[in-house]
Amino acid sequence: MLLKASLNQKINSEAKPDISLKKVLIISYYWPPSGGAGVQRWLKFVKYLPQLGWEPHIYTPSNPEAPAMDNSLEKDIPKEAIIIKRPIIEPYSFYKRFTGKKGNVNAGFLSEEKDSRKKFTEKLSIWVRGNIFIPDARVLWVKPSIKFLSNYIEKNNIGIIISSGPPHSMHLIAMALKKKKNYLKWIADFRDPWTDIDFYTDLMLSSWADKKHHRLEKEVLQTADTVISIGETMANELAKVRGSKVEVITNGYDEDDFNITPTVKNTNFNIVHVGSINEDRNHQIFWQAIHELIAENEEFAQRVKVHLIGKLDYSVYASIEKFNLANYIEITSYIPHNEIVAHLSQANVLYLPLNNTPNTKGILSGKFFEYLAMDKAIVAIGSIDGDAAKIMRKVDAGIIVDFQDLAGFKKALGKEFERRNYPFIIDNEKRKQYSRRKLSEKLIKLF
């Protein structure tokens, strides 16, 4: 009798997957050695998950089209992490041949060459990207990924999956897996919006394509067990489509990255910006304020230096030329993440330009939180009632002015120049809620 009961128990257990709640599968297009902002969020979550009792399995392409390469990020991958890399077919090799572009493809709509988007080849490529490859150019990876991961999930007794987008094709992979295996818990993470993204209207969508984008977005939001976004504004907009609450877990800073020796005080007045600047973030009041302060204040003219680290839209170079600022600007196209802190520590002011687009209130760039880890004043241009502005006021991080407020921005820079030899007082306790470890603790509560 005992033997029969034991045999029946064994048969029943084999009929259902043995779900381990200590394993989580993360589907992310961006992963080291790819560099750029898209990598940081889930790399840092993965770093801390094993310390909090979770085994992360990361599914990512073996041959992605990355905006930059940064081998220094691989130090943050914990030994417990299991990385699954599979080849992806995407059309960017054809795109580069067709348009004559070389090197990596920029994210969003950052154009390093003047009038590049006016070219017929570029316009046609944008139309194809928006109307054929829906939701994005990685959609060809969806079907082979579903097939592979279906077996992988059962073999490894995984009960939780997370998809991170954009690219939002990652969500389509997770949604199909959820529909095939209803016992899975699916968390959809939105680092950026889908149909509310700032360049959505630039995709030249047909009515049919626009409807499909919206239909897929709604299906993803309503099928996922939990949806996460990086800020309150985006969460509220996604919740309208989802019909229920969207959780907020912001980006953050990793305390391990900021254990540095204080730098020797420099004699210059250094304004530092880290990250790409596209046309929507290239604000004319920034250049005009510096131009006017140079003309009005001889000491400012002798000491000011602007260091831009990251890819720049052609409009940035045009602004530098327009305001005759070439002698005051230092440009570095890319620096590995492990070297960024040294440059931030040399700053007197950390410059934060936010996108002047309809969704500007919800924009919270990754670099903003790394700025928070520094004992530096942030001077920002953006929506004065947006998510970034609210956090800045909450933690006393500096000042943000509206896109057209030249006088306000000029006054803010002038104030920081006058107090450049005095330390900027920060409240570390207020800022610790944005540490990557604290955010990872918040994440696992959703598991």
Each residue of 53-93: pLDDT tens digit? Answer: 999 999 999 999 877 788 889 999 999 999 999 999 877 55
Same domain, 180 and 51: yes
384 sits in the region (left: phi over 0; alpha: psi -120 to 50; else beta) called alpha
* Domains: count for the chain: 2
Higher per-residue pLDDT: 98 or 94: 94
Same domain, 68 and 195: yes
| Predicted local distance difference test score (pLDDT) of residue 204 | 83
CA distance 223 to 186: 9
pLDDT at 109 over 70: no
Same domain, 302 and 164: no
Domain enclosing residue 380, as ranges: 255-432
By percentage, how much of the chain surpasses pLDDT 90? 66
Cis peptide before 135 (omega within 30 of 0): yes
pLDDT for 333-392, tens place per residue?
Answer: 878 877 888 888 889 999 999 999 888 999 888 889 999 988 889 999 999 999 999 999
| Predicted local distance difference test score (pLDDT) of residue 16 | 44
Of the listed ranges 200-204, 215-219, 237-241, 438-442, the least confidently predicted one is 200-204
Tell me the mean pLDDT in the region 174-198. Answer: 95
| Predicted local distance difference test score (pLDDT) of residue 11 | 33
| Residue among 253, 261, 264, 274 nearest 340 (CA) | 274
Tell me the mean pLDDT in the region 106-117. Answer: 49
Instruction: Please state, rounded to an integer, the average pLDDT across all residues of the chain.
Output: 87
Let me know if residue 444 belongs to a domain. Answer: no
Look at residues 249, 269, 299 and tell me which one is the last residue of a structural domain.
249
pLDDT at 148 over 70: yes
The token duo for 236 is 């509220």
pLDDT at 115 over 70: no
Same domain, 156 and 280: no
Helices (H), 261-350: 284-296, 298-303, 314-322, 337-344
By percentage, how much of the chain surpasses pLDDT 70? 87
Tell me the mean pLDDT in the region 153-162. Answer: 95
Let me know if residue 240 belongs to a domain. Answer: yes
| Predicted local distance difference test score (pLDDT) of residue 261 | 56
431 sits in the region (left: phi over 0; alpha: psi -120 to 50; else beta) called alpha
Same domain, 395 and 367: yes
Read off the CATH number of the domain in which 200 is found. 3.40.50.2000
CA distance 345 to 227: 36
Sign of the Cα torsion 169, 175, 181, 184 reads: positive
Same domain, 202 and 298: no
Q: CA–CA distance from 239 to each of 18, 72, 102, 221, 247 (Å)?
A: 33, 37, 40, 8, 9
Q: How confident is the model at residue 436 (pLDDT cuts 50, 70, 90)?
A: very high
The token duo for 52 is 């909090």
CB 272 within 8 A of CB 350: yes
Same domain, 389 and 404: yes
Let me know if residue 443 belongs to a domain. Answer: no
Same domain, 260 and 397: yes
| Predicted local distance difference test score (pLDDT) of residue 375 | 80
| Predicted local distance difference test score (pLDDT) of residue 124 | 78
Let me know if residue 298 belongs to a domain. Answer: yes
Tell me the mean pLDDT in the region 286-299. Answer: 97
| Predicted local distance difference test score (pLDDT) of residue 129 | 80
Look at residues 249, 268, 291 and tell me which one is the last residue of a structural domain.
249
| Predicted local distance difference test score (pLDDT) of residue 431 | 86
Same domain, 95 and 126: yes
Look at residues 249, 264, 298 and tell me which one is the last residue of a structural domain.
249
| Predicted local distance difference test score (pLDDT) of residue 262 | 52
| Predicted local distance difference test score (pLDDT) of residue 340 | 85
Let me know if residue 210 belongs to a domain. Answer: yes
Tell me the mean pLDDT in the region 173-181. Answer: 97
Let me know if residue 109 belongs to a domain. Answer: yes
Same domain, 184 and 59: yes
Same domain, 169 and 104: yes
**Whole-prediction pTM value?**
0.82
pLDDT at 406 over 90: yes
CB 409 within 8 A of CB 384: no
Same domain, 306 and 284: yes
| Predicted local distance difference test score (pLDDT) of residue 20 | 45
| Predicted local distance difference test score (pLDDT) of residue 190 | 97
Tell me the mean pLDDT in the region 293-300. Answer: 96
| Predicted local distance difference test score (pLDDT) of residue 93 | 58
Within a 10 A sphere around the Cβ of 29, how many other Cβ atoms? Answer: 26
Let me know if residue 389 belongs to a domain. Answer: yes
pLDDT for 203-232, tens place per residue?
Answer: 888 999 999 999 999 999 999 999 999 999
> Using DSSP, how many helices (H) and how many strands (E) does the chain show?
17, 13
Cis peptide before 423 (omega within 30 of 0): no
Let me know if residue 438 belongs to a domain. Answer: no
